[in-house]
Amino acid sequence: MDRNAFGRLCIILREFGELSDGRHVSVEQQVAMFLGILAHHKKIRVVKFKYWRLGYIVSKYVHTVLRAVLKLYRTFWVVPDAVSEDCVDNRWNWFQGCLGAIDGTYINVQVPIGHKPRYRSHKGQICTNTLAACDHYMRFVYVLAGWEGKYYLCDNGYANSNGFLGPYKSVRYHLKEWGIGTEAPQNARELFNMRHSRARNIIERAFAVLKMRWGILRSACYYPLAIQTNIILACFLLDNYVRDAMPVDPVEQSIHGVDENAGINVYDDGGPVEYVENVEPTNEWSAMRDELAESMWQSYVNHGV
């Protein structure tokens, strides 16, 4: 984050996170040490030499700032606005009423040897599967109240049911199947899947930016599991803060894996899908999806949009 965003964050943590200057360590230095560890996954022994502090002092303030950030979850989480009828973003204007996109991402963790089988993914990683939702501004959201009638875009690991609008199965879907040089949509289902994929890609981009910004999420850290979980939550909260505090996000601009014009996303690898099996699709939402797909197709055939 830039200096202005850092300064405002320190002010917020003073006023609402109850951070205060220590005897020899200011709030600004406390926050700088904490963010350095999150962003670059630095060890305590590295940070203590940089700031000329004892290791236990650095460790103390890392946990102090972590607690302060978590106290601000009501400030940093957002309640998303549904896509409106006058939306001008061509990725989203067909999905009126949509709140954003939902998906899971694997984040590596360090756990005791006896617990490793519980945390082993289908790719062999020792990780926690973190489920998240973001709005169409790439801001992560938390708990929503009164969301009936709205929905999230999800992949085909989820059932097409109340609140979750998934793509058609057995129809090409991933962005790499819609890039330059590929065949245009041939029917309503293919067109729906193409537009669904381009809109839902917002959650993939959000995860990519999150992990680029906070290096501690890219490999397992050595803290106890409860602290690792809190660090993950803090990274999500701080990512929301940065997106609101900085009009231009250099981390997002630096990610070359996402090319919106070509429709290519290196983070959408089309790998194995883990299905949610205890939620059944509903006829009502299947009919709604068919109706929306047909509307898209008629507009595409008649007007090219």
- In this prediction, residue 215 has a pLDDT band, given cuts at 50, 70 and 90, of very high
Q: What is the pLDDT of residue 269?
A: 46
Q: Measuring CA to CA, which residue among 229, 270, 223, 212 is closest to residue 129?
A: 229
Q: What average pLDDT score do residues 99-118 get? A: 87
Q: What average pLDDT score do residues 190-212 get? A: 93
**Average pLDDT value for the chain:** 86
pLDDT at 259 over 60: no
d(CA 48, CA 118): 35
Listed in order, strand segments (DSSP E) in 187-297 are 258-259, 264-265
pLDDT at 176 over 90: no
- In this prediction, residue 266 has a pLDDT band, given cuts at 50, 70 and 90, of very low
**Position with higher pLDDT, 282 vs 271:** 282
d(CA 203, CA 132): 8
Residues in the chain: 305
Burial (CB < 10 A; 0-12, 13-18, 19+), residue 248, is: exposed
Buried b (16+ CB within 10 A) or exposed e, 150-178: bbbbbbbebbbbebbbbbbeebbbbbbbb
Which uninterrupted H or E stretch holds 131?
A: strand 127-134
Q: What is the pLDDT of residue 1?
A: 87
